[in-house]
Structure 1
């Protein structure tokens, strides 16, 4: 027979264990006592502190609530917002980070390091650069739920199209600290009939903006990133083609004179408009010439700016020494030879009503 005091001790330990488990959520906050911003705007002008603007969904206001703070550091500005807020500010749901162009041209390293190190900020958040009046852009509204529009504009499942660039916090951090690649960050301005206008992409050399890529050149950038899945291109001002598929392959070598690369883009397209009734082979040749010209112009500009946003250096890592890798952007990338060839394949036009179905017409 088990002694009574042993049973009592066992019961006491069992109850103590139950209480320990049940108190695991002692520090939770009711959702009504929390503010969950989805957009953070960050700006800093010359001789001025950081300005932080948080955009928070507000069903009561049928729109958004905005909280603002200023301080010499980002963390202090956020703490200031939390101090004066009547509810707890939870940054875990931030989906979009907007940086003013003035700050992007100076340095974004502090911003990236803060967001990566903060325990309550997701590294999956999207990043954009604001061109124009920063405060007007952040407070811009065109409909009842602007916080949804902000995210939808950047969503790959909604308004964000493959003609635009898209980059996340963890990718910015990776490229900022890489020897062999840089990044392109989308540039936005205040829209009229839409929330934002896409102005192209910022060419970033490590932690600062040194130039930009036009919206027309974005096709080339996205193809090199293997992220291009569609879009429309105008040809000769009277025709347009719908790109169904875009692929790219590379051949690299390192000679006594340095690195060289040959890239081959293959585009499967469908003719969407043809006002002048141009033959398929003419459209294909015009498109091929146009893309190759834009690619050569973009690559030349990137060489001059010593910014490898196309990630060319990644293809040479296996044949470079550590010393060559560290000097890639300053020495080897600007002088490398890079030739881009485009192959156009016009597919049967099964997507549009026509009595004359076009046949597949490859041009290389």
Structure 2
């Protein structure tokens, strides 16, 4: 009887000790003693040190606070910022990485590896490239809207449109180390009435920027990435359509002369503007010709860059040998035959409150028909 009682007392004391450990908060930090940056800017010019700029939301200042550091390594520059700061700097909430264009043209591998390997940085953060004056762009503010976040311009729930690309840190790391896929990263510059102006997308071959494409060509890129819905395309000088749905399918084959691919892009659109009073068939024909021409131009440029930003090689992986896979970007992709066909379906003009006014010709009225 006594041993059983002693066992119960021992278990009770053990549980009591565990509760004491579980409820301890010795390593917590008061939120008022922490700085949580949401944007990190990184720039390096040749053998010069890394320039790091952290943007931190500041409700007290009704805007943002900026912290800067310089060192030969990114980690040391961050430590320098922490040393100067009066509060703890936590990188857990970083949502956007901005890299200056000259660094992107040199090498972004070190930056990406740092972001992926650091325990306190989320790999879901977005990546962009800054064109023009790096420091002015990072410190740029909009006085009329001080609570505006840089991240909003890349958010699909906010300012993002299919004219811009979206690339996350983990995706950049994946594409840098892929045999069969490269990437496109959005290019931005200092805005006037907004924080940023978007100037298309940078074409990356592994870890280096080798060229860029315009916003119109970015639309085609996003179609291949299946991120196209909501885009607007000008069909003629006074006519435009709104994309409601976009699907794409591919057929691939590998013959004695090399790889070939047929892509079929199907678009469901509504007419957003038609001041030229074009028929639906005319609009569909013009739109089809325009997109096919842009797609051909984009593919030819990517072949010249030897950069498979569309991820075409992913569709050939199952039929390639290991040797062909390793030589995909250098040998096979530039000589690949790629045909893009576009099918246009014009939906009922539900975009307008009244379609009769738009359909009517000059000198006629809906009542006279």
TM normalised by structure 1 equals 0.94
How far 1:178 moved relative to its partner?
A: 0.5
Structure 1 range deviating more: 294-303 or 158-167: 158-167
How far 1:356 moved relative to its partner?
A: 6.3
5+ residue gaps, structure 1? 359-364
5+ residue gaps, structure 2? 360-369
Q: Which residue of 1 aligns with 2:19?
A: 18
C-alpha distance in 2 between matches for 1:82 and 1:41: 16
C-alpha distance in 1 between matches for 2:118 and 2:300: 38
How far 1:146 moved relative to its partner?
A: 4.6
Q: Which residue of 1 aligns with 2:130?
A: 130
How far 1:238 moved relative to its partner?
A: 1.7
Q: Which residue of 2 aligns with 1:282?
A: 282
How far 1:277 moved relative to its partner?
A: 1.1
Aligned residues: 357
How far 1:96 moved relative to its partner?
A: 0.5
Q: Which residue of 1 aligns with 2:113?
A: 113
- What RMSD in Å do the two structures reach over aligned CA positions? 1.6
C-alpha distance in 2 between matches for 1:7 and 1:206: 64
Deviations 1:315-337 (A, max 9, x none): 00010011100110000000000
Q: Which residue of 1 aligns with 2:331?
A: 331
Q: Which residue of 1 aligns with 2:366?
A: none
TM normalised by structure 2 equals 0.93
Q: Which residue of 2 aligns with 1:157?
A: 157
Structure 1 residues 76 and 146: CA distance shift in structure 2, 3 A: farther
Q: Which residue of 1 aligns with 2:88?
A: 88
Structure 1 residues 146 and 155: CA distance shift in structure 2, 3 A: farther
Structure 1 residues 9 and 238: CA distance shift in structure 2, 3 A: closer
How far 1:161 moved relative to its partner?
A: 1.4
Q: Which residue of 2 aligns with 1:70?
A: 70
Structure 1 residues 144 and 16: CA distance shift in structure 2, 3 A: farther
C-alpha distance in 2 between matches for 1:6 and 1:175: 59
How far 1:242 moved relative to its partner?
A: 1.0
Structure 1 residues 206 and 146: CA distance shift in structure 2, 3 A: farther
Q: Which residue of 1 aligns with 2:36?
A: 36
Q: Is the 8 A contact 1:191 1:197 kept in 2?
A: yes
How far 1:204 moved relative to its partner?
A: 0.3
